[in-house]
Structure 1
Amino acid sequence: MSFRTIKHILASLLVGSTLSGVASAQNHVGESPWGADDELGRLNLITPASRADIMSRVSAERVYDLSVDYFVGMPSWQAAGDPHYQIWMTHTPHGTEIDDPMGVGREMNGHVGYTGSAISMYTHTGTHIDAFNHFGIGGQIYNGFRAEEHLGDRGWMKTGAETIPPIVARGVLVDVAAAKGLDMLPDGYRITRADIEAALDRQGTDLRSGDVVLIRTGRMQVYEEAQRYMANPPGLGLEAAKFLVEEGGAMILGADNLSFEAFPSEIENNYVPLHTYLLAQMGVPIMELVFLEDLARDGVFEFAFVGGSLKLRGADAAPMRPVAFPLNSDH
């Protein structure tokens, strides 16, 4: 699929295509139960006691890397006009012999090879976490912070990516694809509450307050095929998200796809209802492009999730490299 085709798909999403019989989205942001100055939302559920509890149960014999590689041509949002990932060399061993940037002479540069590089990319590239300022409603973001008061030319003064703490919590994999007997969910499939419940039942997994809940669609199997990965991905439905947060107690929701939610929107007046529901109304961060294939292969459905994101001041997202530690079998 060409980028022109992807742009056409994105354009069709923005016109507000809807499914019949679904109510309109709420038109206001959520207020934090942790106070008017709170910028953490449900990340407040991380406490010294909760960290100690999950880490006391860890088996360190194995560790699962939940992040993806960054490379030129990787899946990203360039079809929406955002910068794609680029890397270029700033110093090479041969080049420094000629340029002598450090003023040490050709002989020294021939002896000591110097390699350096630089990158540029959209903040929502690769495995990353969305900050609450990523999407808002009516000029406000979570907890009533306003763009006209808190957004400057150097980013948001509230809920920037630098406010996201190191995350240490119980993690849960919900393998929806496997529960449906599939390697990968079909294009555009919208995951329902029933799908989530069936997967949890199949796995024998429960949900608890403060969980990092990661949804596997199987899409990561075609990550190296960027255009295939990006085109019309399956994603979570609003009913399923509400179940995970309001009944399951999820602190963070994540998935292995690019968009997290499925398109076109279920909601008449909102083209990204899950993003606004989670980020702007409930204070639940979203993780995207999470690599879940190894966990699924080994049937590791409950684990210690440990991850830190880059402290990009004022940013609406930040790359992260989370890891998962299986739990001891005697717990």
Structure 2
Amino acid sequence: MKKYHVFSRIAVPILMVISELAFGQQYKEDVGISPWGAEDEIGTLNMMTETSKLSVLSKIRSGKVYDLSTEYFVGMPSFHSLGDPGYQYWLTHTPHGTAVDNPNGLGEEMNNKVSYTGDAISLYTHMGTHIDALNHFGLNGKIWNGFTPEKHLGDKGWKKTGAETIPPIIARGVLLDIASYKGVKTLPANYRVSAGDLKGALQKQRITLQKGDVVLIRTGQMVHYADAKEFLHEYPGISLDAVKWLVEDQGIMLLGADNLSFEAFPPERTDNWVPVHTYLLAEKGVMFIEQIFLEDLAADRVYTFAFIGASLKLRGASGSPMRPLAIPLN
């Protein structure tokens, strides 16, 4: 921790000054108004069409499926530093307990014969493999497309851009293995993936991006997932210049990464503690997936694939667990 504090006192202020000079004072962060209409709630996911989905699916020539999701378990990594609850699991019924309690009123003989197990969970919606909805972060009191809490946030969640609006996603997926490109098992602490890193990985992997792609960034941090303390400690992430290049120059539709919070901390700027989040969600209407499992894809060097994923339809929620799949393309 001492090393981290020294870095924070010396290097971080220097980086922030450089960043502010680069962005200048003329850039004003504000929510984007959707080109897909005043009622749009899904941003760049509008780029999907029946034709685009069929095109991707028609290129599948393998039955091998890669599961890109993590397991949920008690003690898993969580945003506890911000006061959010961890994952909890408990049994509501057990075979022996049911025989003793007789909750169904059918008696001991029946409950000894029919072994009944039931359980329940409690979780923060931004843990494990999950997708951030467009209401997760806003700017200046508004979220994507100008929706406001005064008009669109009730006691039971947002009336606009909630996780229930996120459609099933089928698109061409691209893995950018930055850890392998840099020749390391996992990127250094607090490392920010640059646009140059993305371009270098694309060149090394001999692939090009296409408009409407789902781009997944591997930092290598997922190798620590079983150890929450290590996984949460000074993790690497993507930089603002990198996401700007992906969104504005490459026209990607959706992003994902294998770390806790997509971007790295401390923040790049002094005037915004999550500049990558607000740029993507609030300004550009681009959702992204966090804590996505990319180790098997990387090991097999599968860099392009059909990305298929759907999240739980949690009404009004700012994010939702997701179980994405990757099927290699020909």
Q: Provide the TM-score with structure 1 as the length reference.
A: 0.93
Q: Tell me if 1:144 matches 2:141.
A: no
Aligned residue for 1:208, secondary structure, equals coil
1:57-116 CA distance string (max 9 Å, x none)? 013420000000000000011121001000000000000000111111101110000000
The question of 1:21 aligning with 2:18 is answered: yes
Describe the SS at the equivalent of 1:291.
coil
Provide the residue aligned with 2:163 in structure 1: 161
Q: Secondary structure at the match of 1:133?
A: coil
**Alignment-mate amino acid for residue 237 of structure 2:** G
Helix, strand or coil at the partner of 2:203: helix
| Contact preservation (8 Å) 1:139, 1:148 | no
> 1:176 touches 1:217 (CA, 8 Å); kept in 2?
yes
Equivalent in the alignment of 2:302: 300
1:21-100 maps to which residues of 2 (within 5 A)?
21-22=18-19, 23=23, 26-100=28-102
Q: Secondary structure at the match of 1:221?
A: helix
Which secondary structure does the structure 2 equivalent of 1:280 belong to? helix
Residue 90 of structure 1 aligns to a residue in which SS?
A: strand
- Distance, in Å, in 2 between the alignment partners of 1:121 and 1:96 is 26
Residue of structure 1 in register with 2:279 after alignment: 277
How far is 1:125 from its partner? 1.1
Q: Does residue 121 of structure 2 align to residue 119 of structure 1? A: yes
Distance 1:322 1:60 in 2: 17
Give 1:166's aligned amino acid. Answer: P
SS at match of 1:29: coil
Residue by residue over 1:13-61, the C-alpha shift from the partner in whole angstroms, topping out at 9 and shown as x without a partner, is: xxx9662221366331001011111111100011000000000001342
Q: Which amino acid aligns with 2:76?
A: M
1:104 correspondence with 2:106: yes
Residue equivalent to 1:192: 194
CA contact (8 A) 2:56 2:306 kept: yes
Secondary structure at 1:213 match in 2: strand
Paired amino acid for 1:129: I
> Which residue of 1 is the match for residue 206 of structure 2?
204
Task: Name segments (4+ residues, structure 1) moved above 2 Å.
Answer: 23-27
Aligned twin of 1:320: 322
Q: Secondary structure at the match of 2:135?
A: helix
Q: Once superposed, what is the RMSD of the aligned Cα atoms?
A: 1.8
Identity %, equivalent residues: 58
Give me the whole-angstrom Cα distance separating, in 1, the residues matched to 2:63 and 2:317: 35
Cα separation, 2, equivalents of 1:269 and 1:46: 34
CA contact (8 A) 1:222 1:229 kept: yes
1:77 is matched by which residue type in structure 2?
F
Contact residue 29 and residue 283 of structure 2 kept, 8 A? no
> In the alignment, what sits opposite 1:240?
242
Cα separation, 2, equivalents of 1:26 and 1:53: 38
Residue in 1 that maps onto 2:290: 288
Q: Secondary structure at the match of 1:108?
A: helix
8 Å Cα contact 2:177-2:217 kept in structure 1: yes
CA contact (8 A) 2:136 2:318 kept: yes
C-alpha distance after superposition, 1:157-185 (max 9, x if no partner): 00000000000000000000100111110
Q: Give the alignment partner of residue 231 of structure 1, picking from 233, 251, 275.
A: 233
How far is the alpha carbon of 1:317 from its aligned partner? 0.1
Query: TM-score, normalised on structure 2?
Result: 0.94
1:247-266 superposed matches below 5 A: 247-266=249-268
Letter in 2 for 1:157: K
- Unpaired segments ≥5 residues, structure 1: none
Identify the range of structure 1 (270-279 vs 51-60) with the bigger mean alpha-carbon deviation: 51-60
Contact (CA 8 Å) 1:133, 1:156: kept in 2 or not?
yes
Figure out how many residues of one structure are paired with residues of the other and give that number: 319
C-alpha contact (below 8 Å) 2:173/2:216 kept by paired residues = yes
Q: Deviations over 1:223-258 (max 9, x none)?
A: 001010011100000000001111111111110000
- Structure 2 unaligned runs (5+)? none
SS at match of 1:19: helix
